[in-house]
Chains A and B, each alone.
Chain A
Amino acid sequence: MNASTHPSGEATAALAPADLVGLDAARIGVAPGRRTYPPGIAAAALFLAVLLAVAAAPTLFTGYDPLTGNVLEGLKAPNWEHLFGTDRLGRDVFARTVHGARYSLLIGLGGMAISVVAGVFLGILAGLRHRLLDEGIARVFDVLSSFPGVLLAMLVVTFLGQGMVNIAIAVGIAGIPKFGRVVRAQTQLVRDADYVTQAAVYGLGRGQVFVRHVLPNVLVAISVIATVYVGSTILTVSGLSFLGLGPQPPTPEWGVMLAESRDVLRVAWWPAIFPGAAITLTVIAFSTLGGYLQKRFEGRLA
């Protein structure tokens, strides 16, 4: 998702990334120190923990092979033997959904890692000094965010070709301004803070000041935004997979499964319900957790 290109877009992005899923720009006043966890947060954290376990060791959760099935057993409605039913080729939908967790998480997190690394690098570069460089990088962010994310990713796939790694790169590039803008604003803020000036007075070199004071401050902001942002990355990734640009069949990726389910929709609802619910629940969990972190660290983000 893109930030709007407001004239003062970089600064506002740091204070209120208002275009993120699960956003709470207006609730800045919430006390940062409370230690009780609302039930929604606990549920989200629990869901994500289970999801991680499923992604790490899918075979612990299902005995069926996600890639092979008995065609004669195709399109069976959910029953005790196949909890989520079977698809057109007789493959167990539960097994495919379970094995799919790995792909969504890997591509989503991988893409986000690219955004974070590139965004932090460019943001710090822009925020540290040198007006011309700053101006140039700010325009790069403007350009990147003026392309709708899905279309920009499609352009990248045109150049690089289909596949998992390539759509991770594609959504990664689209997400660079999201992090770059915040890091830039944050760096500028810290750069001019009194304690940084003082550190410089005590004789710390620019590199040392940077590693000890600028980087830790930026990291908090980054990890909060990243949690909020993973959700929308996973949404975009599943959309690209649905279009057939990511992993190819028979890979049990959720977007791919939904694309396959579209062809049998007339006769079977179950191949379409479960992977879609998996995507939605994952995104909700990340957004809930991210929104909560954002509220807690709001004071420190500004």
Chain B
Amino acid sequence: MPSPTLWSRILGRLLTSLVVAWASVTAAFLALHVLPGRIEDILAGDVDTPGLREAIAAEWGLDRSLPEQYWAFVSRIVGGDLGTSYVLRQPVREIVGSQLWPTVQLALTAGVLAVVLAVVVALLTAGRGRLSRTVASALELVLASTPVFWTGILLLMLFSFTLRWFPVSGGNGWQALVLPSIALALPTAGLLAQVLREAIEKTLDQPFVTTVRARGVAELTIRARHVLRHALLPTVTLGGWLIGGLLGGAVITEKVFGRPGLGSVTLGAVLTHDVPVVLAVVLLAAFVHVAASTLLDILYLLIDPRLRAA
């Protein structure tokens, strides 16, 4: 049964994340107003049709006072209305909605793959003598330092052009998901394994591990059952960062593999200065990031009793 301190901590964490989400919306609003140039021009992007500026001014209520505009902006976003793309002549919500799934699919697959890879590598190599440690940490450093688009290009070269195992580009079927997910997962897996291995090695020195070992439990069982659970906790705080990184990396990965998704939409929008679309994607990513790290932090509080006190 969660204690009152736990509840107040969870509530506090939720409140902080709400403040951050609200602040990011406010930052978006301020950015539009602080930037040089008329807001109508900023929002219109590269389009210039007669009457468009007036239509934008009407839609955004630009003749009203600043607090009123701000209130309208916040309530629109809370209501899920992300505005209109004047370049694509479509509501932003429809554009983002139609391209969301391929990106989510890619990011999720890569995320799971990265975590599995990191856990396996860290479990097998932590505290196993100098050689395996050196090899593993060198591998992790290389993975974490390789740009995701270069990994993608190398994979394409090897598996699509030379071996012809996987399609070169496109977004259909699981075959088209394999290489992009691997490319996106590898750098994240490298970083995660680095952190996890350190945590496992620290845990292996703990007295409780010696106790378990003294009971005659097999080494791999000790690692998988006892040490990993303990060592995973500090890694959980990296989760929010991980998701942000995967979303950003997905944009680049999609470009390498010619996959449809938020990446190509965002890139197109950046090049045509389609501010409403880019703004929506960035805000969406920030919300996902904040929500994920909040959830993980709360999970962390629930799992680790030491954090509940004080």
Q: What CA separation (Å) do A159 and B286 show in the bound complex?
A: 18
Interface residue from B146, B247, B274 paired with A151 (Cβ < 8 Å): B247
Please classify the interface of chain A as helix (H, G, I), strand (E, B), loop, or mixed, using the class held by over half of its residues. helix
Contact assessment for A150 and B249 in the assembled complex, using a CB-CB cutoff below 8 Å? yes
Q: Which of B27, B149, B279: most chain A Cβ within 10 A?
A: B149
User: Looking at the complex, which one of A12, A148, A231 makes contact with B244 (CB distance below 8 Å)?
Assistant: A148
Name the contact of B27 in the complex, choosing from A143, A162, A235, A258 (C-beta under 8 A).
A143
Inside 8 A of B17's CB, which chain A residues have their CB?
A: 5
Closest chain A residue to B138 by CB distance?
A40
Contact of A276 among B150, B249, B297 (CB under 8 A): B150
As a 0/1 sequence over residues 261 to 301 of chain B, the CB contacts with chain A under 8 angstroms (1 = contact) are 00000110111011100110110011001100110110000
Q: A162 vs B269: C-alpha distance in the bound complex, in angstroms?
A: 13
Q: Mark B10-33, 1 if CB is under 8 A from A, else 0.
A: 001100110111011001000100
Interface stretch, picked from B58-66, B111-119, B209-217, B233-241, is B233-241
B42 contacts the other chain (CB 8 A): yes
The answer for the CA separation of A7 and B14 in the assembled complex, in Å, is 10
Report A11-49 CB contacts with B as 1/0, cut-off 8 Å.
Answer: 010000011011111110000000000000000000000
- Indicate whether B202 reaches chain A with its CB closer than 8 angstroms: yes
Q: B267–A4 contact, CB under 8 A?
A: no
Q: A158 within 8 Å of B by Cβ?
A: yes
Quick one: which of B24, B249, B252, B296 contacts A146, CB cutoff 8 A?
Answer: B24
Is the pair A238, B286 in contact by a Cβ cutoff of 8 Å?
no
What is the size, in residues, of chain B's interface with A at 8 Å between Cβ atoms? Answer: 69
Of B141, B234, B294, the residue contacting A22 (CB under 8 A) is B141
Q: Does B40 contact A (CB under 8 A)?
A: no
B255 sits at the interface (CB 8 A): yes
Given contacts A151-B285, A152-B282, contact A4 B16 (CB under 8 A): no
Q: Which residues of A contact B282 (CB under 8 A)?
A: 147, 151-152, 154-155
User: In this assembly, does A206 line the interface, its C-beta being within 8 Å of a C-beta of chain B?
Assistant: no
B270 touching A157, Cβ below 8 Å: yes
Which single residue of chain A is at the shortest CB-CB distance from B145? A283
* Count of chain A residues near B, Cβ 8 A: 58
Bound Cα distance A110, B196 (Å): 32
A binding-site residues for B, Cβ under 8 Å: 1-7, 12, 18-19, 21-27, 139-140, 142-143, 146-152, 154-155, 157-159, 161-162, 231, 235, 238-239, 242-245, 255, 258, 261-262, 265-266, 269, 272, 276, 279-280, 283-284, 287-288
5 sample A-B contacts, Cβ–Cβ < 8 Å, listed by A number: A7-B297, A142-B16, A146-B244, A262-B256, A272-B150
Taking A4-B241, A146-B244, A255-B147 as known contacts, 13 extra A-B pairs with beta carbons closer than 8 A to each other, sorted by chain A number, are: A26-B198, A148-B245, A149-B245, A149-B248, A150-B249, A151-B248, A154-B251, A155-B278, A235-B145, A243-B251, A262-B256, A276-B146, A284-B142
